[in-house]
Amino acid sequence: MKPLCIAILFILSPLCALCADWDLGQNGNVDLYGFQSCGYDEHNRLAWQIAGRKASVRGPLTTIEGCELVFFHDQNKQNTQETAIIKPDQSGKVRISLKAAACDFNYAMGEIKSDQPIVIDLGDDVDISGVGFDVDLTRHVILLRSTVKLKLKIDKKTAKTLKTGSFK
């Protein structure tokens, strides 16, 4: 009976790992493929979502490869004025997307950190890049550590006003 049970476990264990798409490592560590997690605001609305190709969970710290973090901001929550540079999508939400090769995610502390280069997409008109970052998920604060570059697309009238300094 024992050899039959061992043979069945030997055959089924790789299939179970394929179905669940995760791998148990040593000492309770877990590697996940196609990782995704999210957080909600005080009104139970989606506030942020983080995803990656692979995540290695080591206790409270998750190292994510191919990290993408998206903040969702309800435009109606703060005020009814439209943001001048960042426009909301059709659902009325402003999406802020951060991409990095790898990052460390601590869900309990609400923090994401990395020494990797980062690209932040704020819609069609604003792009930000830098090297190294710290994110506070509860306050929606992004700190870029160095080599920060901001690229704005603005109309000719606004560009002329900024260049001449004649604001009316």
35 and 56 Cβ atoms separated by less than 8 Å: no
pLDDT over threshold 80, residue 2: no
For 5-55, give the DSSP string: HHHHHHHHHHHHHHHHTEEE-GGG-EEEEEEEEEEE-TTS-EEEEEEEEEE
In what side-by-side order are the strands of the sheet with 93-106?
22-24, 30-40, 46-58, 61-74, 93-106, 111-121, 126-136, 141-152
| CA distance linking residue 60 with residue 101, whole number of Å | 20
Domains in the chain (CATH in brackets) are 25-164 (2.60.450.10)
At 30, the pLDDT band (50, 70, 90 cuts) reads confident
pTM assigned to the model: 0.67
Q: Tell me, what's the pLDDT at 51?
A: 95
Question: Over pLDDT 70: what percentage of the chain?
Answer: 68
